[in-house]
Copies of this chain bind each other. A is one copy, B any other.
Amino acid sequence: MLNQNYIDMCGMKSVIRELFSYGSERAKEIGYENVFDYSLGNPSVPAPESFTNEMIRLLQSENPVTLHGYSPSLGIDSVREAVATSLNDRFDMNYQKQDIFMVSGAAGAIAHAARAVTTPGDEILTFAPFFPEYMPYINSTGAVLKVVPADINTFQINFDAFVDMLNEKVMAVLINTPNNPSGIVYSTETIKKLAMILTEKEEEFGHPIYIISDEPYREIVFNGVDSPFIASHYNNTITCYSFSKSLSLPGERIGYIAVNPACEDSALLVDMFGQISRGIGHNCPPSIIQLAVSKALYDTADLSVYETNKNILYTELTKMGFDIVEPGGTFYMFPKALEEDAIAFSNKAKKLDLLLVPSNSFGVPGHFRISYCIPTEKVQRSIPVFQKLADMYL
């Protein structure tokens, strides 16, 4: 008999993926240039040459038996060492090789972290608006994801609601800053307050409460924005990183988990991640991709286009009357829809071949997400289409 859980999951398709599929089909009908597809968070700039050149060098120069050989189950030693060093250099931390676990992107990192720090029935809290795939990542572990309502004026943390929801069963708090879908970066003040509350509650409940920090957008922060490194403000931090956005490698599934060495049980946690990978038969990310990213740890793709696009959209849409909390990073923006029903709003936009994701699955009603990782000329050409949409609500 087949497992009903997974059959049920098949029925719950991602709204984002469905909109993206619609866009691809529509592009075949009316031409790619005529569909303003703001649905998917797929980087639009090439990977840096340091990555590509290192891949080619490895393939041309290294002994293939060694190059393509098994990686140790926690990751290749030299790669783990390089990741630790780069974090220490950039964020004044004290990571060592044994605090780093190589993993296939932030998604795997979050799922591993959640499995390690909970037993079935425990709770993990996250903050709206949130990335909807957190639901399958957490709920597949047997723990329960609960969502703290948003502070829709700032998209920082709604602390009153948060404190009300903290209880003994909460083993971790899952945060994402810079944030998908709001584009907001949590301020140092927000992080300090979060750390203070968690420290008090750890004492009260008598067990650690981990911050699982989902940081794929860490490198996409706009000019002048305060962007604290979470682990430097809270010992029990498990940092989940992906190179998908910073190096424009979303399909290559490569990232890491960094456990703060000041965290309780840091060494044990990394060993546990290895066992979790073993149990699902996943093992390590590919050897060659581990090796190549380790030579690009201080690089990024040219991410400046995202700030350019943000500036155009924020300025023009605000002028049209859209209510937007200005993003501090990422390539997302999360304006208020022009009617209460975000799905109806998104459907009206769709008729103009403007693809906007309605906010419901992000845990906030009445908003929409714009993923502006598309060419700037297309952003510019989309402005009159947004105007047409706004005019429908005059």
- Cross-chain contact A136 with B4 (CB below 8 angstroms): no
* Residue A194 lies at the interface, judged by CB distance under 8 Å to chain B: no
- A101 smallest CB distance to B (angstroms): 13
Residue A315 CB within 8 A of the other chain: no
Q: Which residues of B contact A10 (CB under 8 A)?
A: 268, 271-272, 274-275
Chain B residues near A52 (CB-CB < 8 A)? 59, 64
- CB of A252 within 8 A of CB of B2, answer no
CB-based contact A2/B272 at 8 Å: yes
A226 CB → nearest B CB, Å: 29
Stoichiometry, as copies per complex, reads 2
Which chain B residue lies CB-closest to A290? B251
CB-based contact B47/A64 at 8 Å: yes
Contact of A284 among B253, B272, B280 (CB under 8 A): B253
Fill in one digit per residue for A54-80: 1 if any B CB lies within 8 Å of its CB, else 0.
011001100111011111000000000
Q: Per-residue 0/1 for A189-213: is the Cβ within 8 Å of any B Cβ (1 yes, 0 no)?
A: 0000000000000000001000000
Question: Is A248 an interface position by the 8 A CB rule?
Answer: yes
Cβ of A142 to closest chain B Cβ, rounded Å: 9
Instruction: Kindly provide the distance from the CB of A37 to the nearest chain B CB, expressed in whole angstroms.
Output: 14
Residues of A1-54 at the interface with B, using a CB-CB cut-off of 8 Å, are: 1-4, 6-7, 9-10, 40, 42-47, 52
Interface membership of chain A positions 93-125, coded 1 if the CB is closer than 8 angstroms to chain B and 0 otherwise: 000000000001111111110011111001000
The answer to whether B64 touches A119 (Cβ under 8 A) is no
Q: How large is the interface on A (under 10, 10 to 19, 20 to 34, 35 or more residues)?
A: 35 or more
Known: A252-B288, A281-B105. A272 touches B3 (CB 8 A): yes
Query: CA–CA, A46 to B64, complex, Å?
Result: 5
A108 near B282 with CB under 8 A, answer yes
| Given A7-B268, A115-B6, A283-B104, A68 and B47 contact (CB-CB distance below 8 Å) | yes
Contact of A68 among B109, B119, B250 (CB under 8 A): B250
Q: Which of B55, B117, B136 contacts A59 (CB 8 A)?
A: B55
- Please determine whether B250 and A69 come into contact, CB atoms closer than 8 angstroms: yes
Q: Given the known inter-chain contacts A104-B282, A109-B281, A249-B68, please indicate yes or no for A117 contacting B42, CB distance below 8 A.
A: no
Q: Which residue of B lies closest to A254 (CB)?
A: B286
Which of A63, A278, A279 has the most C-beta atoms of chain B within 10 angstroms of its own C-beta?
A: A279
Whether A3 lies near B117 (C-beta < 8 A) is yes
Q: Is the CB of B56 within 8 A of A69?
A: no
Q: Is A265 an interface residue (CB 8 A)?
A: yes
- Residue interface bits A247-265, CB-to-B below 8 A is 1, else 0: 0111111100000000001
Residue A157 CB within 8 A of the other chain:
no
Cβ A107 vs Cβ B253 within 8 A? no
A289 at the binding interface (Cβ < 8 Å): yes
Question: When the two chains form their complex, are residues A68 and B248 in contact, meaning their CB atoms are under 8 A apart?
Answer: yes
Tell me which residues across on chain B come within 8 A of A136, comparing CB atoms.
275, 278-279
Given contacts A280-B108, A283-B105, whether A68 and B9 have CB atoms under 8 Å apart is: no
Shortest 6 CB-CB contacts between residues of A and residues of B: A251-B287, A140-B279, A111-B281, A107-B281, A9-B275, A46-B64
A-B contact pairs, 11 of them (CB 8 A): A1-B117, A1-B119, A2-B272, A6-B116, A7-B268, A10-B272, A68-B248, A107-B282, A111-B279, A136-B275, A286-B289
Q: Given contacts A10-B271, A44-B65, A285-B286, could you give 17 more A-B pairs where the C-beta distance is less than 8 Å?
A: A1-B119, A2-B116, A2-B269, A3-B272, A6-B272, A10-B272, A43-B65, A47-B64, A52-B59, A52-B64, A108-B282, A136-B278, A251-B284, A251-B288, A253-B283, A253-B284, A253-B285
Q: Give A contacts to B, CB under 8 Å.
A: 1-4, 6-7, 9-10, 40, 42-47, 52, 55-56, 59-60, 63-65, 67-71, 104-112, 115-119, 122, 133, 136-137, 139-140, 171, 207, 248-254, 265, 268-269, 271-272, 274-276, 278-289
